[in-house]
Amino acid sequence: MREAIRNILRRKLRTALTVLGIVIGVFALTVMGALAEKLNVLVAGGDDYFRTRIFVFEKDARSGFQASYRPIDRALVSRIEQVQGVRRATAVLQTLFDPDNTGGFDFPPLLTGIDPASWYDPSVQLRLDAGRLLARGDRRVAMIGADIAERYRARLGGTLRIHGVDFRVVGVLERTLTFPDKIAYVPLADAQAIYVADAPTALRYSTDQLATQIEVFPTDLANADPVARRITATIPGIRTFTPSQVREQIGQFTVVFNLIIVGASVIAVIVGGLSVINTMVMTVSERVREIGIKKAVGAPTGAILREFIVEATLLGAIGGVIGLGLGWALVAILNAQTAGSGTTVFLVTPMLLLRSFAFATLLGALAGIYPALRAARLDPVLALRSS
């Protein structure tokens, strides 16, 4: 190892330029990887949250599985519960927590009105960090996600102002890094009053009948698609959104960002790999006589091969550490810039760090194989005659 370090320090400028090529590739891989890690967490959490139920919307509502701006009649709950395969149904009213914040890359903060008597379900995982869940008979109280609490500096027992209405915070949920972090849960009646105040004067339903979606919990989740078809066939003027559709829609985002990771990896391979190969080939050319002397005095081919591969691997490792550090620093700065809005765009995980460092080290080792083989196969007589 000492000899390898001494050898790569012989040409400091060349070594620096080689390491820079690896740094650029690993830097891109780290930043893009942190973006993809965040998305993967959102995807996994969103899938866990949404795949437990069927969503029912008004037929013309423009919505996937988030807030719809077209109301649906809450009275449909009792009719839906009579459909074969439905265990229970509950009305939910969901709208933007802040009309000026539509989310961008992340999920937008949402105000969600629920009926505590019918909404809670063992499949809906809501873990409290402090306080309690909403209960039957509550009014003007809120149970909030971690991002809502952080952005609006809301604390247990404090007041949170939503659409001009003050709510007392009775519960703060544990951070999940995904969808529930962005939700403020309030009693359905309070959400209905806010919706009416913000909506056009002409509404088809009375205030207490308003909902934006009906969430249906099937008896057997494996039969969600047939149950959804029966609901659509039984009740006109609605459309359903099933767990399989949730997975399909969420999966589309995953494909895009996985392609980003592949692109970043290709950049790292091209830039870093060519840099290492070029440097090691030049190193072999400059050290032909040295290699000839070593072989003449009995150095085995494996030792020569190992010497140059260790040097290339070391170059990759150094570039990997620097690239990781710079990428991590940029991610931290960008997350700090967006933290005030309750949004973190990047997520650095131990697996990402390990993967990026291993990638850089392996890249250096693989890129050094050809120059190492070239050095190990040199004829010692011809090498000693070279000038």
- Say if CB 11 and CB 320 are below 8 A apart: no
> What pLDDT, in 10s, does the model give residues 201-229?
657 778 888 899 999 999 998 899 999 99
What's the Cα-to-Cα distance from 213 to each of 53, 181, 190, 223, rounded to whole Å? 12, 20, 16, 20
Q: From CA 206, how far away is CA 227, in angstroms rounded?
A: 29
Position 180 pLDDT exceeds 90: no
pLDDT band with cut points at 50, 70 and 90 for residue 66: low
Q: From CA 240, how far away is CA 55, in angstroms rounded?
A: 6
Q: From CA 152, how far away is CA 172, in angstroms rounded?
A: 12
What would the mean pLDDT of 330-345 be, rounded to a whole number? 77
Among 233, 232, 254, 251, CA closest to 243 = 251
pLDDT score at 240: 92
Position 110 pLDDT exceeds 80: yes
Position 100 pLDDT exceeds 70: yes
Q: From CA 49, how far away is CA 125, in angstroms rounded?
A: 8
Position 38 pLDDT exceeds 60: yes
pLDDT score at 103: 55
What would the mean pLDDT of 274-300 be, rounded to a whole number? 73
User: At which residue do the structure tokens 């934006």 appear?
Assistant: 212
Following CA atoms 69, 75, 81, 84 in sequence, which dihedral angle do they give, to the nearest 10 degrees? Answer: -80
Q: What angle do CA 117, 242, 223 make, to 5 degrees?
A: 90
> What pLDDT, in 10s, does the model give residues 71-90?
889 999 999 999 999 999 99
Position 325 pLDDT exceeds 80: yes
Q: From CA 218, how far away is CA 242, in angstroms rounded?
A: 11
Token pair recorded at residue 80 = 């839906």
Burial, 168: exposed, middle or buried (Cβ in 10 Å; 0-12, 13-18, 19+)? middle
Q: From CA 203, how far away is CA 95, in angstroms rounded?
A: 16
Following CA atoms 123, 129, 133, 134 in sequence, which dihedral angle do they give, to the nearest 10 degrees? Answer: -120
Q: From CA 364, how far away is CA 318, in angstroms rounded?
A: 10
Q: Which one is predicted more confidently, 271 or 352? A: 352
- Say if CB 67 and CB 212 are below 8 A apart: yes
Q: From CA 289, how far away is CA 378, in angstroms rounded?
A: 10
pLDDT band with cut points at 50, 70 and 90 for residue 168: very high
- Tell me the pLDDT of the chain averaged across its residues: 82
Q: From CA 95, how far away is CA 211, in angstroms rounded?
A: 10
What would the mean pLDDT of 33-54 be, rounded to a whole number? 77
Most confident of 45-49, 63-67, 338-342, 354-358: 354-358
pLDDT score at 171: 95
Q: Which one is predicted more confidently, 259 or 193? A: 193
Q: Go through 177-201 and write b for each residue having 16 or more CB atoms within 10 A of its CB, e for each that does not.
A: bbbbbbbbbbbbbbbbbbbbeeeee
pLDDT score at 90: 95
What would the mean pLDDT of 308-322 be, rounded to a whole number? 87
pLDDT score at 78: 93
Position 343 pLDDT exceeds 70: no
pLDDT band with cut points at 50, 70 and 90 for residue 387: low
pLDDT score at 253: 65
pLDDT score at 167: 97
pLDDT score at 202: 55
Q: From CA 117, how far away is CA 188, in angstroms rounded?
A: 11
Give bridge partners of residue 92 from the DSSP assignment.
Answer: 213
pLDDT score at 142: 97
pLDDT band with cut points at 50, 70 and 90 for residue 189: very high
pLDDT score at 52: 83
User: At which residue do the structure tokens 């909403």 appear?
Assistant: 134
pLDDT score at 157: 93
Q: Which one is predicted more confidently, 238 or 378? A: 238
Q: From CA 208, how far away is CA 210, in angstroms rounded?
A: 6
Give bridge partners of residue 128 from the DSSP assignment.
Answer: 173
